[in-house]
Amino acid sequence: MLIGILGDLGSGKTLCLTYLVWNNYIYKKRKVYSNYDLYGIPFTKITTIEGLKKVIPLKTTEEEIMKAKEMVFAGDELWRWISSLSLGKGAKAKRDIVHRILLASRKAFVHIYYTSQTAKQISPWIREITDLWAYPVLGGGILTVFWLKVPVVNPTVRQLVRYMADKPLKVVAEPFFAMYNTYERVVELGEAGDDLKEKLYDIRDNPAWKRYCLVDLKMSKEKFEKYCKKVEKTFFLEKIKEEWLSTRRKVKK
């Protein structure tokens, strides 16, 4: 499955992407890879060409076929990130990555979700095989996601309603602010390998979430802690942390 999330700055693209990652981890038990930091959700960060190649392999292993081990790769501003490779060896690596994404879209165990401001920024080959286009609209504390089969240039809400392929998804936005840093800028794709170690960051360590709660909402530290616990309990982050730490302790024994 290949899903593109389109929209202007501030439209809720990364918020939508983060919600989809959370949903995939909680309900579909898929291992998560991403090119940006997540909080409260175990993930493996990919910042290099070699790391991306391992996440999007050219062949399906026997283990994947037998165990049906599914995974999701979340690429924030994916095409801008890949487009940092444009000259010499970089251009060749870029073509290889596009080829891998094309193959992965036909591979049942790899799901790629990516954001972009416009469809024109995306490789035409990838654009043609993207299964669904998501258009997030953030307003009144609610993230509404419209699903389209084809991309539309600068669509109005009326157009999104007219062309939607399925009923819109509606999500209470605020709790998901805790799960990503809106101020993070995706770094250029490097050449050295990633360590591919799964990490789990506490939502309390998310600088954007701390600023939102403590500065914008003017919460006290005590109220901030209570709210963090509420988000963790309501969205199963507390359970995720317990299970993740338990697995790590077993591995060490």
Alpha helices in 68-198 (DSSP H): 78-82, 89-104, 124-129, 157-163, 174-177
Is the predicted pLDDT of residue 30 greater than 90, yes or no?
Answer: yes
Residue type, 73: F
Residue 64, in any domain of the structure: yes
Mean pLDDT confidence for 206-226: 98
**225: its two tokens:** 């802690």
The tally of domains found in the chain comes to 1
Residue 231, in any domain of the structure: no
Question: What span, in angstroms and rounded, lies between the C-alpha atoms of 1 and 20?
Answer: 13
Mean pLDDT confidence for 20-33: 95
Residue 79 — very low, low, confident or very high, per pLDDT cuts 50/70/90?
confident
What is the separation of C-alpha 178 from the centre of its chain, rounded to a whole number of angstroms? Answer: 14
Q: Which residues span the domain enclosing 45?
A: 2-202
Residue 87 — very low, low, confident or very high, per pLDDT cuts 50/70/90?
very low
pLDDT score of 171: 96
Mean pLDDT confidence for 237-249: 91
Residue 235, in any domain of the structure: no
Residue 20, in any domain of the structure: yes
Strands (E), 109-238: 110-116, 132-139, 142-148, 164-172
Is the predicted pLDDT of residue 89 greater than 60, yes or no?
Answer: no
Full DSSP string of 40-100 = SS-BEE--BHHHHHHHS-SS--HHHHHH---EEEEETTHHHHHTT--STHHHHHHHHHHHH
Question: What is the CB neighbour count within 10 angstroms for residue 108?
Answer: 11
Mean pLDDT confidence for 166-189: 92
Mean pLDDT confidence for 8-17: 94
Residue 191, in any domain of the structure: yes
Residue 208, in any domain of the structure: no
Residue 215, in any domain of the structure: no
Q: Residue 78 maps to which CATH number? A: 3.40.50
